[in-house]
A and B are shown apart, each in its own frame.
Chain A
């Protein structure tokens, strides 16, 4: 394999990893607060469509990003209302959000048919073109859209917030032992809402980045292709830690990038088997950490303030 291919692969790994990282950051907060937001796949899908649509109509990627994040936060709010206030089963809620997103995006995309396969304005590069001429590092790190850089820096900020601020401490306490948190005077429900809304916001952002940084168009029929579930696995494999989870997301991104490269490079292995690779790696990675990865203690369980 020539160095060019490897450089190209590394660059693509970062780009494919970026949306996963963004989605994962939100999910880490949500799960740390005890709520598994299984709807991130669907919210990502809505985010992907919203990003394209707003960018197409306004021609402004910033506006598209902000609009998408607001939309995602609203979805997060809905999931929070159902799982926290109504105490619905978190798996069912998530799966139904995903089903709704699949139908909903197909429906909306058909309505916006003028924008079908129309490529839109995408995220600009963060660094001037000249940086890309630096050997190896240039193309890998600097020929990257703004979104990749955001995704690379954000995990550090997220980790800082989780471990070094009041709010982070509160969220961690709520997921571990909501009764104790409530007894210490914390607003448990409010904190859970905040964390779940964040997960919706970031899931939509991740979907938006998938389209506006990477592919540049929307394809109906579930174009996120299970990435939301890959993120759910990454959070478990990463042990609910923002930095480790981001690292796992990068590995998954690299697997995705690798299979695309190998397809075009004309490998002897049929390309369908390469396409399976990221999904198989996800399952194997999950199997590898079972028993070693300890979830927040009330992970997935509803919280009832009347239980003391």
Chain B
């Protein structure tokens, strides 16, 4: 590395050294599961029986798999929101906050008894969720794009602000709050705003379909639209993007806002499909798990589908494991983190290896300029 390159500012590392390929993610996941097995063994449970319980809990019955899909919904939507940020070299870890904002928006419209058809009520609730989340996201997005504030710290700080804001919204005398409840929470959403149940005896709602569509659409956007092309350019080389005429700040703003939008939808799906009330802490780390989902997918929207399903199977199965073997439920979160750490730690990062090859080839003699 020469002195020139080091001059000026070094921004946070982007997608560059996250580029994954081949078997590496699978090996990493396997190692993560093995490490998890070690921890389970430490807590005095046979890891094999724990994992069998987990598998049964996730895939043992149609009902169990429905549960997996329910849990996958927010991870799919939030995960793809983080993923598009990663493709642009941005760490949008504010999903937790956007989910609260979206939930409040969806809740406000959803609680109201509107004289409209359910589909209209649902759409209006989603629109409100999107509006709230995007407005919420404007703050950190502007700070990053136009003021150069580190987006990791800014978005995480805003997550805490969102939690307290939600707490205020569901406390009396705010109009959303359920009057006289011991635990502060919002009123129940109207039956017309509730997402339909797809399978009797489960909570399966169409959230996962929304998630799958979001992943496919964003994959298409990234690959086949000028906007997506600019996003990828930004992620690979911000300086070069500016030189090639990309409005880098505006692009950053839009990409972060797409993440916010997704977070809002994710929050709305949780409220309208599952929880039916807004309350403090209802997200409970799903926003951070969305980040893990996107990281495991290497920022690829289609990869998000696989990693979100994997994580939700882990979580759904984890509940069963907890009941049957006594291993604590939070163990699944630990395993998730371990999987990502092993995935990024297993291989020498691809990009670096390629650069090495490139350095070596610079000594290659076939440099010439015979231009036709």
Contacts and interface: CB of A to CB of B under 8 A. Distances in A.
Given A97-B337, A107-B330, A298-B6, A282 B157 contact: yes
Contact of B331 (A98, A103, A179, A233): A103
B40 to A, nearest CB: 10
Contacts, number: 175
Interface string B153-182: 110111111001101100100000000000
Given A92-B340, A92-B344, A233-B153, A102 B165 contact: no
B240 interface: no
B153 A276 contact: no
B270 interface: no
A276 B330 contact: no
A225 interface: yes
Given A91-B13, A225-B160, A295-B9, A82 B345 contact: yes
B123 interface: no
Contact of B156 (A103, A221, A226, A270): A226
A103 B334 contact: yes
Interface in A30-51: 36, 38
A300 B330 CA distance: 30
A100 interface: yes
A270 B7 CA distance: 47
Contacts of B341: 82, 88, 93, 96-97, 100
Contacts of A219: none
Interface stretch (B106-114, B252-260, B281-289): B281-289
Contacts of B158: 279, 283
A100 B334 contact: yes
A297 B10 CA distance: 6
A301 interface: yes
Nearest to B156: A229
B338 interface: yes
A265 interface: no
Contacts of A107: 328, 330-331, 334
Interface string A262-288: 000000001011011001101100110
A177 to B, nearest CB: 6
B350 to A, nearest CB: 11
Given A87-B17, A276-B165, A287 B147 contact: yes
A232 B153 contact: yes
Interface residues of A, number: 59
Given A96-B292, A290-B148, A301 B13 contact: yes
B281 A99 contact: no
Nearest to B328: A107
A286 B153 contact: yes
Interface string B275-310: 000000100010011011001000000000000000
A88 B344 contact: yes
Given A100-B334, A276-B164, A279-B157, A306 B292 contact: no
Interface residues of B, number: 60
Given A96-B337, A290-B148, A291-B148, A307 B18 contact: no
Contact of A88 (B292, B333, B349): B349
B12 interface: yes
Interface in B197-244: none
Given A100-B337, A100-B338, A282 B330 contact: no
A132 B258 CA distance: 55
Main secondary structure of the interface of B (DSSP, over half): helix
Contacts of A276: 160-161, 164-165
B43 interface: yes
A184 interface: no
Given A233-B153, A272-B164, A106 B330 contact: yes
A282 B152 contact: no
Given A103-B330, A103-B333, A179 B352 contact: no
B154 A283 contact: yes
Contact of A110 (B153, B288, B328, B340): B328
B6 A93 contact: no
Contacts of B3: 177
B285 to A, nearest CB: 6
Contacts of A229: 152-153, 156-157
Given A97-B337, A283-B157, A306-B356, A87 B9 contact: no
A239 interface: no
Contact of A283 (B43, B140, B333): B140
A41 to B, nearest CB: 8
A91 B12 CA distance: 8
Contacts of B333: 99-100, 102-103, 106
Interface string B27-41: 000000000000000
Interface of A: 36, 38, 82, 86-93, 95-100, 102-104, 106-107, 110-111, 177, 179, 221, 225-226, 229-230, 232-233, 236, 270, 272-273, 275-276, 279-280, 282-283, 286-287, 290-291, 294-295, 297-302, 304, 306-308
Interface of B: 1, 3, 6-7, 9-13, 17-18, 43, 91, 93, 139-140, 143, 147-150, 152-154, 156-161, 164-165, 167-168, 171, 281, 285, 288-289, 291-292, 295, 328, 330-334, 336-338, 340-341, 344-345, 348-349, 352, 356, 359
10 contacts: A95-B152, A97-B341, A99-B292, A100-B337, A103-B331, A177-B6, A225-B160, A283-B157, A295-B10, A307-B1
Given A99-B289, A279-B157, A302-B352, 9 more contacts: A89-B13, A96-B292, A99-B291, A100-B334, A177-B6, A279-B158, A283-B153, A283-B158, A298-B10
